[in-house]
Amino acid sequence: MSTAAVIDVTGLTKVFSGRKVVDDFDIRVPKGAIYGFLGPNGSGKTTTIRMLCGLLIPDGGQGECLGFDVLKEADQIKAQVGYMTQKFSLYEDLSIRENLDFVARMYGVRDRKARVTRALEELGLANRAKQLAGTLSGGWKQRLALAACLIHDPQLLLLDEPTAGVDPKARRDFWDEIRRLSKAGVTVLVSTHYMDEAVQCDFIAYIAYGKKLIDGPAADIPTMVGLTTWRVAGPELGALEERLKTMQGVLQVARFGAVLHVSGTDTAALEASVRQLEAEGGQQWSLQPAGLEEAFIYLMTGARDNFAIDSPVAA
C-alpha cells in the first residue's frame, strides 16, 4: 500500500435546511487502502461520500480527491471514480451485458465490446450475460453493480452500504473481490453496518450525526478508545447485566449471544467490580481485548443527534 494520499480533505462541511449534516470532516486515505466508514443511519456517511466523488459540492472545507480540488474540479473527480449506491440503480429491463455496455458508452470506454466481455468474465457474469437485470437475486445484482463501477477502470471506488440485503456467501465473495482490487492498487472507501466487514478494512472512521468521532488503523481503534473488556458467561446473565450497570468502572454491558462483554475506561475500577462478582461465583470471567463493536457502542453513547428537536440550528 502506498503512503501517497488519494483523498486528503479537511473541514468538509455540508448544510441542509439549516443543519450541519457533515460537520468539519477530515480524512486522509492512502492509495490502495480499504477505508471503512462506520456509523448509524443518518450519520452523514452517504453525504460525505457524495462530496468526495464530486456529486455534491461542500459548503465548507478544502482538499483534494485523486489530485483534483473537491470544490472546483468535481467533473474531473467523477470521471475517475466508481460509485456504487445503496440501491440498485441499473436498468432492470436490460440484460447484464446491455447494462454494462450502456455504462461503458457513458464513460466513453475504448474498445467497449472487449472491455464489457472482460468485465463479465472478471466478475463471473459471463454465463448470465443475457439475463435481465431485474430477474437477478440480490447477490448477483450486487456483482453486476460492482462490474458497472469498474467498467472505466477507476482509481477510486466509493461503495455505499454495498452488501445490504445480500446473503453471507455473496458478502464473502464481494469482499474477496474488494481485496483483489486493493492489491492491484485501487483505493476503496466503503460504508458498512457490519462489524465482520469492518474488520476487513485497513482503516476505519466512526461517524455519528455528521461528526467524525475517531479514525485510524482498524486494529488500533479499540486501543485508541482506551477500553478494557471482560467476558462473562454462565447462568442468570439478565440479572447480572442489570447489576453490572450500577457498579463502579462499568461504562457499558453488551450482550453477545450467551455471553456478556463488560467494558470501561478505568481499568482498576472495572477489575475491582469484576473481582467482587467473580468471588461470589456462578459465572466464568475472562479478560479479553476490546473489539470494534465495543468501541462503536461506547463512542455512540456520547454522540449527539444533530437532527434532534432540541439540537441548536447550525449557523
Instruction: Return the pLDDT at 308.
Output: 53
What are residue 314's phi and psi, to 5 degrees? -70, 145
Q: Which residues contact 160 (CB under 8 A, 6 or more apart)?
A: 45, 46, 49, 83, 84, 85, 86, 191
Whole-angstrom distance, CA of residue 190 vs CA of residue 161: 7
Predicted confidence (pLDDT) per residue in 34-62, tens digit: 999 888 878 888 899 889 888 899 999 99
Grid cell for residue 200:
476487513
286: enclosing H helix or E strand: strand 284-288
Run of H or E including 292: helix 292-301
pLDDT of residue 3: 62
- For the chain, which ranges sit under pLDDT 70? 1-3, 302-315
**For residue 310, what pLDDT is reported?**
45
Helix (H, G, I), strand (E, B) or coil at 118: helix
Strand 211-217 vs strand 252-256: parallel, antiparallel, or unpaired?
unpaired
Q: Give the per-residue pLDDT at 85.
A: 87
CA 309/CA 314 separation, integer angstroms = 13
Q: Alpha-carbon distance 313 to 304, whole Å?
A: 13
- Confidence at residue 302, expressed as pLDDT on a 0 to 100 scale: 62
- Going by the DSSP 8-state scheme, the letter that residue 130 receives in this structure is T
CB 147 within 8 A of CB 104: no
Best CA proximity match to 128, nearest among 104, 114, 142, 144: 144
Q: What is the pLDDT of residues 127-147, one digit of tens each?
A: 999 999 999 998 899 999 999
Q: What is the pLDDT of residue 307?
A: 52
**DSSP for 226-275?**
T-EEEEEESS-HHHHHHHHTTSTT--EEEEETTEEEEEES-HHHHHHHHH
Rounded CA-CA distance 279/227 in Å is 23
Q: For residues 87 and 267, what is the distance between their CA atoms, to the nearest angstrom? A: 44
Q: Which set of grid coordinates corresponds to residue 266? A: 478505568
pLDDT of the residue at 309? 44
**What pLDDT does residue 51 have?**
92
Q: Give CA–CA dist 124/90, Å, rounded.
A: 18
Number of residues in the chain: 315
pLDDT at 161: 85
How is residue 95 written as a grid cell?
440484460
Spell out the domains of the chain, with CATH numbers in brackets. 5-222 (3.40.50.300), 228-289 (3.30.70)
